[in-house]
A and B are shown apart, each in its own frame.
Chain A
Amino acid sequence: MPAFLSGPLAVAVRVESRKLVDTRSARWLLLAMILVGLTVIALAAGLAVERGGVLEVSLLLMGLALPGAIVAPLLAILSVTSDWQHKDVMTFYVLQPRRLAILGAKYIAVTLFATAVMAAICLLAVLVAVVLAGFSSLEVTYAGLGQGLWYAACAVLIGSISGAAVASALMSTPLAVVVVLIQSTVADLLIGLVPNIPTSYVQSSTFSNFLSEGGEVLPALSSAVIWILVPAGVGAWRHRRRDVN
């Protein structure tokens, strides 16, 4: 086996990947992600068939970003906080005292896993579109397919990383879930209501919008620092320093 695959980080990534699916709660979350994805595909295809119109695959894929944006952060939160919640850190931090290697492995495992699941759902969506094109009167267009895939990928990537960052800073499953839900639903709206501040610099969606659609660099960087880098830094510091009692 090559050295980089048997090193401490690679070993930790394999362990963390396995932990994402080896408990009932993790499997339910995965199932939820798949079910929401399938529902989006079925709804989009059903509506298009009913109206006898055009099914744009790129729009379908953008729709799939929704389950990715919701479930990926939850998966990340569960991965980062579960060890503390169940005191599993007492086993894993003893076997790998370099705690940041384990935290880093969690980021990598969640991101890879969520991306792989989303890729599978996207592939299924394209297959559904191909079948509909062949067996119905529906017109299926593939224009902007790459853009749609990129949009879904960004949603999953940013959702995973920001979810893991917030969870690592808060080190509490319920608190992290509440913060991430507020962040992804009402936080940007509330920030938009505050007068006399450059809202795009502060809103969490600025960075994801920049990645998926382009835009100004500075507000995107500011958004990434506030919602990802700062929580990730705080989380790394807390994980490294916190006593396990």
Chain B
Amino acid sequence: MKLEVEDISKSYGGIQVLSHVGFSCDAGTIMGYIGPNGSGKSTTLKVIAGLVRPDAGRVLIDGQPYRSLENPGRKVGFLLDPGAHHPGRSVRETVTLAAMMMRLPRSRVDAVLTEVGLASVPARKVGALSLGMRQRMSLAIALLGEPEVLILDEPANGLDVEGMTWLKRLLRSLGDKGTAVVVSSHLLNELETYVDRAVILDRGRVVSDQIVRRGAVSEWSFVSGPDLDEIEKVLVAQGFEHRRGDEPSAGPGFRVRRTANEIGEAMWSRRVRVNHLGPAAAVTLEARYGAVTSPQFRAGSIEHAIGDGEET
């Protein structure tokens, strides 16, 4: 299942919050969605969820608008605000209500509470939970319907080290099973260890969309050429693991988990023209973020992110 965000714009009271934002996230891809505070990340995710009406543009889930999905919770899971739950309800009741909306059996509630590590506190009131536990409960609701698309806004907020490791493994395993995951976060170093792609937003505009190097530098090469579709056909035919994206020095192309020699031979054997082939550039996400976001926001936001990880 694929998520497509097409040319979204949104303004509040004359202030442009999002301007022609567009990206897509394919099945099996974990996409980091990052940007300074106030850059429009949360607004974008709420537009995807149908909670905020865009002034222009559209969002498609597997080619369909979100509103027209039958039982959408079974297809797309959202974690948008861990504080957005009635404090007087118990953990189990909160998740049960979501399960009822999705027409899921009660057994699924127990299973997902166990999965997120809340099986021992089902009767605890939401208002008595720590931020980390509320995050886990919100994640439980997002995972409840075993969705094929997962949208998470700052899921690591409030999680301890063990919780963050658990989250990372969970998201990576979901991605490997074919779930399309969009995760917004300020924790760039953490994101870099498990996302495949990073879309950077600055003042309501997408300023970068790049593949993120997860493995060692030597494992990845970058290839581009005049006909990217032809290149991709070869990569698929050869069974080479690859991701589409930009390389700062070469433009759009593919990051491939093979040596340049192997890729070159494959392209040559099919007579597919390439104009850039070599080791993938080792650009860290943080460096890329620093290069493309506005300085007046960047200094404060990174300091803020390191301090408490909050999002505006």
Contacts and interface: CB of A to CB of B under 8 A. Distances in A.
Interface of A: 6, 11-12, 14-15, 18-19, 22-25, 82, 86-98, 241, 243-245
**Secondary structure of the A side of the interface?**
helix
Contacts of B50: 93-94, 97
A88 B53 CA distance: 18
B93 interface: yes
B86 A11 contact: no
Given A11-B101, A95-B101, A97-B72, A82 B53 contact: no
B46 A245 contact: yes
A114 B242 CA distance: 60
A72 B78 CA distance: 34
Closest 4 CB pairs of A and B: A87-B84, A244-B51, A23-B88, A90-B84
A78 to B, nearest CB: 11
Interface in B73-111: 73, 78, 80-81, 83-89, 93, 97-98, 100-103
Interface of B: 46, 49-53, 66-67, 69, 72-73, 78, 80-81, 83-89, 93, 97-98, 100-103, 141
Given A93-B51, A98-B67, A244-B46, A88 B86 contact: yes
Contacts of A241: 53
6 contacts: A23-B89, A24-B88, A86-B86, A93-B51, A94-B73, A97-B67
Given A97-B67, A98-B67, A15 B84 contact: no
B103 A11 contact: yes
Given A12-B101, A15-B101, A22-B93, A94 B49 contact: yes
A161 B164 CA distance: 47
Contacts of B69: 97
A243 B93 CA distance: 26
**Secondary structure of the B side of the interface?**
loop
A25 B87 CA distance: 11
A243 B46 CA distance: 9
A92 B72 CA distance: 11
B88 A245 contact: no
Given A6-B103, A19-B97, A91-B84, 8 more contacts: A15-B100, A22-B93, A23-B89, A91-B141, A92-B101, A97-B67, A97-B72, A243-B53
A18 B100 CA distance: 10
B201 to A, nearest CB: 17
Given A94-B50, A95-B98, A88 B84 contact: yes
A106 to B, nearest CB: 14
B130 to A, nearest CB: 18
Residue from the set B50, B81, B89, B97 with the largest chain A CB neighbour count within 10 Å: B97
A10 to B, nearest CB: 10
Contacts of B89: 22-23
Nearest to A244: B51
B73 A90 contact: no
B247 to A, nearest CB: 36
A96 B67 CA distance: 8
A244 B50 CA distance: 9
Nearest to A6: B103
A98 B69 CA distance: 10
Nearest to B151: A94
Contact of B87 (A15, A86, A96, A245): A86
Contacts of B53: 241, 243
A12 B101 CA distance: 7
A88 B66 CA distance: 19
A242 to B, nearest CB: 9
A97 B66 contact: yes
A90 B88 contact: no
B253 to A, nearest CB: 36
